[in-house]
Amino acid sequence: MKLPFQVNIKLPNQQKLAFAQGKVSFLNELIWSLIGLLLTVLSTFVEVFITNPPWLWPQSGIYPQPLGINYQIGAVLLTGCLGGKNAGVLSQVAYILLGLFWLPVFSQGGGLEYFREPSFGYILGFIPGAGVCGWLAFRQRPRIESLAFSSLAGLVVIHLSGLIYLAGLSFLKVDGSTLISPERLGEMMISYSGFPLLSQLVLICLVGLMAFVLRKILFY
């Protein structure tokens, strides 16, 4: 018996698999890669602040407390959470090329000589970090905890890249001397990865929340 209409029943597991294998459209990837580039550039020069609890504002006023980091890593991970791995990677490749060849968009300037900066390894880590974050963010339906975990994974990749680069600078010799003395390597690792980590974890919570709300608003 042939029905006059077609019945298409999708089982829950099939629906979950279809979502996990789904990809962000090319147009969305392009838009988010451009947005991610702009966010990364602008956030490099904006410091993260928190304030005293809002219920104390009427009595004691608003007292901002700097966390000692900027929004740069947050912008990198947010791009991955909203645009996927391709948009995340493309935006950060464009950011690095822009800083090396055109504009001083890095926190300490720019130019080809920037490879001497200890922080450049972390900037290079933005590429795989955004890719890993974007890949994980679209493996399942968006939830605050899953998006925060995706951001955490991206942050780990960024720090690993930065630490490996720092170790490399302690062995690389330029003009007969290493860029970082081996005796200072441990100190540099703590300075660049240890001290800002707690503040960056707070930023990750904010990224997870923002990404969840925006993806709900944009219906994907």
| Residue 159 counted as domain residue | yes
| 75: amino acid identity, one letter | A
User: How far is CA 55 from each of CA 7, 59, 60, 171, 194, rounded to the nearest angstrom?
Assistant: 55, 8, 9, 53, 32
Instruction: Single out the residue of 52, 27, 42 nearest to residue 75, CA to CA.
Output: 42
Give every CB contact of residue 124 below 8 A, 6+ residues apart in sequence.
Answer: 96, 161, 165
pTM over 0.95: no
Q: How many CB atoms lie within 10 A of CB 30?
A: 15
Task: Name the residue with higher pLDDT: 126 or 170.
Answer: 126
CATH number of the domain that 148 lies in? 1.10.1760.20
pLDDT attached to residue 23: 66
| 143: amino acid identity, one letter | R
pLDDT tens profile 31-87: 999 999 999 999 999 999 888 788 878 888 888 888 899 999 999 999 999 999 999
Q: Please state the domain count of the chain.
A: 1
| Residue 5 counted as domain residue | no
Sign, Cα dihedral of 189, 195, 200, 201: positive
Structural domain boundaries enclosing 122: 23-217
